[in-house]
Structure formats: structure tokens, C-alpha cells
A and B are shown apart, each in its own frame.
Chain A
Amino acid sequence: MISQLFTEAVLIGILTSGIRLATPYLFASIGEMFGQRSGVLNLGVEGMMLMGAFAAFYVTLTTGSPWLGLLASILVGTLMGLAMAVISVTFQAEQGISGIGVYLFGLGMSELLFKKMLGTVETVSGFRPLAIPVLSDIPIIGPILFQQSAMVYLAYLLVPVAWFVLYRTTFGLKIRAVGENPAAADSLGVSVKRTRYMTVTLGGALAGVAGASLSIALLNVFQQNLTSGIGFIAVALVYFGGWRPYGVLFGALLFSMVNALQLWIQALNIPIPFDASELLIMMPYVLTILVLMFSAGRVRKPSALGAIYERGT
């Protein structure tokens, strides 16, 4: 019965998984947000996540240390981000399409490496839940918020840090200036190219971490196309969140909570009118479109998003 959902244990379960499921979206979306605020649309996040996820998984499996795995994902993500920066900033390639190229590269490459270096699907002991002393003992809130893995805490910590960087540092001011009016920023001595290189590379590193959060914290496995669309949703969440860190947090949480809800409905075998788990899986995506419909008109995107900037044109 539907009332099964409203027991304390189940509600805590839904909220706990909702908080946890938001992790990869937060890393990837916050990273993407930096790129977009500086004017670069990176559609290759999904490919970067896959590469990061594989690197983290492989290193964790061979060394036994998830921290080394995390480091590997940062390295790989940084390289992918740097490549995207070369493509979109130096070569001024069309960003939407080149992003698809980067995605296909990451998709194929991670599968290739996986098949050549591992071959079979195995599990790894990644980050374990880390109960925070005292706080985790608080009833209800404790298990929901403070018995998660280190990656989850890091993801939520990233949001205020991103806000601070974007709105309270010179670097953040430069990012916003370059994304709104590159010509004006340039005339004031801000290097458009260097700023975009930094944001896109940072976005790549965070996409790598987002992949790692899947392969060595949430799922502890790697398989081909592990991310299955999460990177694309992460891009959508940046629009959804109006290019602001807390907006992104809200979007990621909303999306993940709906996702957690549908997972629990399936897990509890709650009889819904007909057997349609696929229709439940659709819910978060339909919701995202609806929210985009009603928010897209109201939030202004960075003016220079997706535009090529060239001096003296």
C-alpha cells in the first residue's frame, strides 16, 4: 500500500538515499557551472565522468586506497578538461558538437580500457560511510546527513566553496565578467583565454571526481557506460539552477529525491496501478523538462555562453 511509504524508517531511507544520490550531480554540475559562467558550454561532462570513474576504480582496485583512486580521477578529469579547453578556447570549435565528440571519446575509451585492463565486472571497496561523531547520533537528522561517505560530505562542502569563489574572490569576478562581456573584460586586462582555460579545466577535474563518486563511493563497480546519462543531466541542472551554486544544489537535491522516491517505490514493491518501473524512472526527467519550461524564461543565462570570443572582432 502507498501508506508503506510513510513509515519513519522508509522516509529516513528515502532522504538518506536522496542526499547520497545527489553527490555525482553536485560535483559535475558545480564544475560545469564554472565553465558556463565563463562562457563555455562543456557537453563532454559525461565522457569525462566515465574516464574519471574508470581511473578511480582501477587505481582503487590495484592500490586498495580510495584516496589514491580519487586523485587519479582528478588527474584524468583535469587532462580531459584541458583538452576541452584547447578545443573550445584555442580552436574555437562549436561547443555543443565538440562536447558530443568528447563524450563519444570518453564513452569508447573508458570501455576500451575497462575491457583491456580488467575485462570482468568486479566490485571494489571504496569509500565507506563515515559517521561524524556526536552529530550522527541526532535522531532522524543524524542518519540522514551524518552517516554518509567522505565523498558525499565533500560534494556538499563544494557548494558554499563554489559560492565563495564565484562571488567573493577576484577569480570569481573575472569568471563572471568573461562570461557576461568578454570584450569589456578583455579591455580591462582580464585574459579571456586564461580564465576560460582555468574554469573548463576545473570543470573537467570535478567531472572526474563526479565519476569517481559513482565508481568508488556510491556503486563501487565499474562497467561500460556506468554513468548512463548522469553527465548530461548535470549539464541540465546548471540551467535548472540558474547558474548559481545554491540553485544547482536545489536542482540536484530535487532530482535525486524524486529518484530516491521512485527507487524506494520499486524496492518496496508498492502496488501501483500497473507494473511500470520504467515510467517511474522517467519521472525525474519529465520533472526536469517541466522545471526548465517554467524557469528558463525567468533566469538570465551568462550572455556570452557558447559564443566564440576573438580579439578585435
Chain B
Amino acid sequence: MIDFLVRNPRLGRLFDLLLPLLATLAALAVGAIMLQLLGANPFVAYRALLEGAFGSQNALADTIVRATPLLLVGLGICIAFRAGVINIGGEGQFIAGALPATLLGLSFPDAPAIIIVPAALLCGFLGGAVWGSIPGLLKAYFNVNEILSTIMLNIIALQFMNFLLRGPMIDPVQLQAASAIPQTARLNPAFDLPRWVPTRLHAGALLAVALAVVVYILLWRTTIGYRIRAVGFNPDASRYAGINVKRNIVLALLLSGAFAGLAGAVQVYGVSHRMITDGSAAGFTGSAGFNGIVAALFGKLHPLGAIPASFIFGALIVGANSLQRAMQVPAALITALNGLVVVFVVCSDIFSRRLARRRQIGVVEVGSKGAGEQGGGGAGERPAAAANVGPPDSGGVKPAPPATAAKVSAPIKPVAPVAGKEASSD
């Protein structure tokens, strides 16, 4: 079959695009078996799920509302993973963005909304950027694996939020009440993001879609994005080409965190209008930090692909709730299915890679802009820590030939999530 796909490049590309869908179908098939074992008719159950997600105007609006943070986080994930860094810190960065955004709104309750709302979203962006740059700096300059540091920073951000919501930032009303629910006061309703009444759909969704286009342009039409992708594609070749690998790793994690932080701010101003904690991160974030990874992967790490992908996962989450109501199937089933989707999607990558190899392309043009610039003395540095920890292709990379021309050429390797996707950009 592979031979057939190699001979028909158009079909081959279609196959690449369809793979995640096939992987999802496989995951849903496993889900059907699980539903059957739980004593629920899988067809009835999946129908309940679909109706819950798309069945009415409100359902559709809820799906988009749930998809919005996934898309925003997912955009950041696209940037980080394209740079070859694995950002598991979405949960913490989401919180790190929501906190300053909320604080701003609470501090100036009487200020005009036209100033506060954009400023708050900016606060969210910056808060996430700060929290994301920490693992970036740790990775670039202290050789600390970003997977580990982002996990630690998730817990630290969660505990810091719990501390603030139970103490300094608690709603004065709750402080009087015996219940003392750890939550902030409600933000001035004037600050609520514009909403499409009577549904819960808010303007944050539009912002997220617009930003997806911005991230696409950033990654594929600017020098910054070119450098970020080059670093992820082949750190050694990038360094020889004069790209400052360390700086770009920090930048990628910073931007990645910034989008997660913005997601947090949008969630507060668009949906919850206050911060509240049940002690767990998921209680506030709705696991957007993790599900955003799922959505980004599903969209093949392409910002525009992340739009339909996050819509699908938003639908799954909303549908799962109605599944729970209609058939007493715990919504945790969807968490498990999400996990299966991730596993199946990354496992199916092997077929894309095999196809790519069979196409007999030895060298791929990464791009032609930006290389050859003065990259801040990056060429003389010792191999960046990042290069050894990040993408799976870098573990055994042989030093790439120095790229002296204005083009960086990198041999295709069996790269998991990054390679093979270059095709989708042009």
C-alpha cells in the first residue's frame, strides 16, 4: 500500500492528513468496546455525545466556549513543539496568566472596561510568558529537562493560586461567611467579554481564531518563526547556520506560556468572571493545559489545524457531560479516550515517516530566509543542552554539515512530531 501512496503523491498527502482521523476512529472504537462493557449501547451513547455537543444553539456555543482555551493553549504548544521543546506546563501557565489578569480587574473595579479588558488580557499573556520563560531559561542555561521543570512549575503555580484565593485574594463576602469558599470576588460585570446572548459564546473565541492566523504567520512568514522551526528541526544545523539555539528555546517556551496565560485570562473574563479553586489544577483550568496538547497534536502542530482540532475536543468534553447525564457513564471516559487518541495519533506517525522515507527525498529545504544572519555568536557555543533533551531525533544526531549558504539543509530523519509536517506549510 505504501508503494501505491508513494507513486501517487496527492493521495500520499491525503493519507498524511487522514492519519489522525483514522487514529481517532480507532480510539473511538476502543471507546465503544469500553461503553459496551459498562453496559451502555455505544451507538446510543455516541449519539447522546453528539447531541450534547451540537444538538442545539446552546450546545454548539458551549462547544466553542470549551474549545477556546484548548485552541489558545494549543497555539502555544505548536510553537514550543515546533522548536523541539515539550511544554507540559500549560496548566501552570494558564494559572499564571489568570492570576495577574484577575488581580488587575479586582484592583480597578471602576476603571473603564475599554482599558481594563485589553490590559487584563495583556497581563494574562505576560504572566504566562514569565511562567513559561522559567523552564526555558532552566533548559537553555542549566540543562534542566523542560518536561520535569514544567511539571514542577504546574504544582507550584497551583499551590500559589490556592494560597492567594484562600488568603490575600479571597472574596470579602466569603471571608465573612462560614463556608469561606476559596474564590475571588466577581469581577465588575462591565469587564465581561462581549457575549452572544442568550448563549455563553464570548468574544474570546474570535480572538483565539484570529491569533491562530497570527501564529501561522509568525511561524511560517517571519524570521523569528523560521528560526524557531529550524531549531526544532535540527539544532546542530541551526547552530552552524548562526542561529542562537538557546535564545530561541527560551523564546519558544516564553511564547508558549504566553498563549496558555492568555487562555487563563480569557477564561476568567469570558466564562468564570472570577477565580475559584477546588484544590486541584483541573478544578480551575478544566485540564485545558493538557487537552491543549492533545488538540495541537491532533492538528498536526499546525496553528490552523489546531482550530478544527480544538473544536473536536471541545465537543468531546461538552458531549461527555451530557453522556454522563443521559446514560450515567462517567465523563472520565472521555479523559481516558483523549489519552487513547494521543497514543494512537503519535503511534500512527510511524506510517507518515515510513511514507516520507519511501518518497526517497534525501534533503529538504527548510527555508531560505533568515539564515546566515548574525545570530548573536551562537555558532561558537558548545552544543546546547536543549539539543540533547528535546526532540527525539536529536539524541543520536550526527553533526550536520556546516551550512554556509543562505539555506539550511537538514537530512530527513525519523522525527516524531516535527518532521514530515513541513509539507503542510507550503
Seen from chain A, the residues whose Cβ lies within 8 Å of a Cβ on chain B are 41, 43, 47, 87, 91-98, 100-109, 111-112, 115-116, 224-225, 228-229, 232-233, 235-236, 239, 274-276, 278-279, 281-282, 285-286, 288-289, 292-294, 296-297, 301, 303-310, 313
- Is there contact, CB below 8 Å, between B143 and A296? yes
Q: B347: nearest residue on chain A (CB-CB)?
A: A91
- Is there contact, CB below 8 Å, between A94 and B346? yes
Identify B416's interface contact among A288, A301, A308, CB under 8 A.
A308
Name 9 A/B residue pairs within 8 A (Cβ), A-sorted.
A98-B347, A101-B341, A101-B342, A104-B336, A116-B330, A282-B155, A292-B142, A292-B148, A306-B392
In the assembled complex, which residues on chain B have CB atoms less than 8 Å from the CB atom of A91?
346-347, 350
- Is there contact, CB below 8 Å, between B396 and A304? yes
The answer, yes or no, to whether B116 is at the interface (CB within 8 Å) is no
The answer, yes or no, to whether B173 is at the interface (CB within 8 Å) is no
- Is there contact, CB below 8 Å, between B396 and A307? yes
Shortest CB–CB separation between residue B212 and chain A, in angstroms? 21
In the assembled complex, which residues on chain B have CB atoms less than 8 Å from the CB atom of A313?
413-414
The answer, yes or no, to whether B149 is at the interface (CB within 8 Å) is yes
- Is there contact, CB below 8 Å, between B151 and A229? yes
The answer, yes or no, to whether B297 is at the interface (CB within 8 Å) is yes
Distance between Cα atoms of A308 and B138 in the complex (Å): 25
- Is there contact, CB below 8 Å, between B38 and A116? yes
- Is there contact, CB below 8 Å, between B346 and A93? yes
With A235-B148, A289-B152, A293-B142 already in contact, the answer to whether A93 and B349 are too (CB < 8 A) is yes
Shortest CB–CB separation between residue A3 and chain B, in angstroms? 26
With A87-B347, A112-B330 already in contact, the answer to whether A289 and B335 are too (CB < 8 A) is no
- Is there contact, CB below 8 Å, between A97 and B151? no
The answer, yes or no, to whether B312 is at the interface (CB within 8 Å) is no
- Is there contact, CB below 8 Å, between A296 and B343? no
- Is there contact, CB below 8 Å, between B346 and A101? yes
* Total count of chain B residues near the partner, CB < 8 A: 60
- Mark contacts of B325-350 with chain A using CB atoms, 8 A cut-off: 1 yes-contact digit, 0 otherwise: 00000101111111111110011011
In the assembled complex, which residues on chain A have CB atoms less than 8 Å from the CB atom of B280?
225, 228
In the assembled complex, which residues on chain A have CB atoms less than 8 Å from the CB atom of B346?
87, 91, 93-94, 97-98, 101
Distance between Cα atoms of A260 and B5 in the complex (Å): 59
Among residues 158 to 206 in chain B, which have CB atoms less than 8 Å away from a CB atom of chain A? 159-160, 162-163, 166-167
Shortest CB–CB separation between residue A246 and chain B, in angstroms? 20
- Is there contact, CB below 8 Å, between A103 and B339? yes
- Is there contact, CB below 8 Å, between B163 and A278? yes
- Is there contact, CB below 8 Å, between B396 and A112? no
Identify A43's interface contact among B138, B147, B338, B394, CB under 8 A.
B147
- Is there contact, CB below 8 Å, between B347 and A306? no
